[in-house]
Amino acid sequence: MRRFSLDRNLPGAPPVFSIMNHFQSSTPLSRGFSASAHPHGPGRAPCSPWTSILAKLPVLVVLLTASGCAVAERVEEAFRGETPRERYVEGLDRAGLDGTLLGSSWMRVGEAALESGPLVALPHREEGVLLPEEPTALSASFDLRRGEYLQVVFTRQEDGDSVDEAREWGSGSRVFIDLHRLRDPDRPTEEGGPRPITLAWSEAGSGLADTLVHEASVSGRYLARAQPELLAGGSFTLEIRSGPSMDFPVAGRTTRDIQSRFGAARDGGRREHHGVDIFAPRGTPVLAAGPGVVRRVNETPIGGKVVWVFDQERNLSRYYAHLDSQAVEAGRRVEPGDTLGTVGNTGNARTTPPHLHFGIYVRGEGPVDPWPYLYQPASPLPPVRVDPARFGTAGTVRADDVPVRIVSGSGNLYRVRTRGDGQHRHSLVPAEALSPQAAP
């Protein structure tokens, strides 16, 4: 099925979590560089300030330089948690890190991110800085319609890397991305509302940019959370976008060619239009919008020449009507883009210009609006216009004199985290609302 240009196979990660040691020079060991390539020279890489914490971890593989400092540690456990993040939390608990200041802070900021994710419009792009000594979890809430396809991509960059380089080489640490649906958007969890429903998660691999994809089956408000593992640092980019979950069913056409929408009155208001009409010249190929098995190829007084395709995975049928010709037979398996017939105006469309009537019918429910399944937003990812030099610095919200940490930027807004109250709340504020403040 056609997806976004950023879409890629999710890396299959084993049940392993890693924490990279942070050298006193900010230059990381990554991309398979050996210790001899490090600027300190062979055998002279200084030990990480976090060595005492990391020493508590059961070691699966330890690579040592001549001085005996660990370059990287990987830990494997018989984790029982359902999601990669839950398994990681179990690993922290078994290693005794949940009781440390950093470990407990990591878990608190993750929970806080579920309670109040700033509301954003899609597509959304955010750039910022991760501070190894300050665990961070980013969340954002947004609205999705049934049938839309969501993609969340988090890319962490080491110093000097471009986003493309980071995606190609990987960042050396893992990021846990999960998706939740808010059961009551008007009552956040922090105000006593119900916890969000967890729907999907990434596999949290470290070889490529971490990616989560999901097809919305319910319209509503959703929340995506991205949380790097402990001690992750460097710059990051977060991208969230939505689009169609199905291919467009008429060759060379788009939603701009739809002239009659779902729910429009028919027969003087006696019935509703249960699909969309896509206008195109007679003979234009009609294409399968998704995979499935052809269940019916016949002719009816209303639909004229029709083709029905059942998609077992989604438990729905796609209906193609008013065809000029039919090119498939019942029982055939089709894939997205296969030709089913050609555009016409058979059936009760004889007095209208040629068009395809396209409908979606969910088993046990009936017709649903095809528009979100087909609509491709034209909006590009918005650029980040705020000053990146302020990422990771301290500031104050002028109106309330509230001290904050500036985490990232999106468009003309900064994402800030409250400091010193233990709440770890994030919000988006205009650049002019912030004044600089020396870090405590």
- What is the set of domains in the chain, with CATH numbers? 16-245 (2.60.120.380), 255-374 (2.70.70.10), 383-440 (2.30.30.40)
Q: Give the dihedral sign, CA 379/123/205/59.
A: positive
Strands 413-418 and 426-430: antiparallel
Task: Give residue 5's pLDDT.
Answer: 35
**Can you tell me the mean pLDDT for 173-182?**
92
Q: In whole angstroms, what is the distance from residue 144 CA to residue 178 CA? A: 15
Residue 46 has pLDDT above 50, yes or no: no
| Chain position carrying tokens 């050609």 | 342
pTM of the model: 0.76
Compute the mean pLDDT over every residue in the chain, rounded to the nearest whole number: 79
Return the structure tokens found at 266: 């028919």
Max CA distance (Å), the chain: 85
Residue 2 has pLDDT above 50, yes or no: no
Residue 50 has pLDDT above 90, yes or no: no
Task: Give residue 1's pLDDT.
Answer: 43
Which of 161-175, 318-332, 422-436 is the least confident region?
A: 161-175
Residues 6+ apart with CB under 8 A from 180: 114, 196, 197, 198, 199, 222, 223, 224, 225
**Can you tell me the mean pLDDT for 348-375?**
95
Task: Give residue 205's pLDDT.
Answer: 64
Task: Give residue 314's pLDDT.
Answer: 95
**Can you tell me the mean pLDDT for 257-282?**
81
Distances from the Cα of 195 to the Cα of 68, 72, 192, 222, angstroms = 46, 36, 9, 12
Distances from the Cα of 144 to the Cα of 26, 167, 169, 370, angstroms = 40, 26, 32, 14
Residue 293 has pLDDT above 90, yes or no: yes
**Can you tell me the mean pLDDT for 87-116?**
90
Mind listing the pLDDT tens digit for each residue in 365-421?
999 999 999 999 988 999 999 999 999 999 999 888 888 999 999 999 999 998 655
**Can you tell me the mean pLDDT for 19-43?**
32
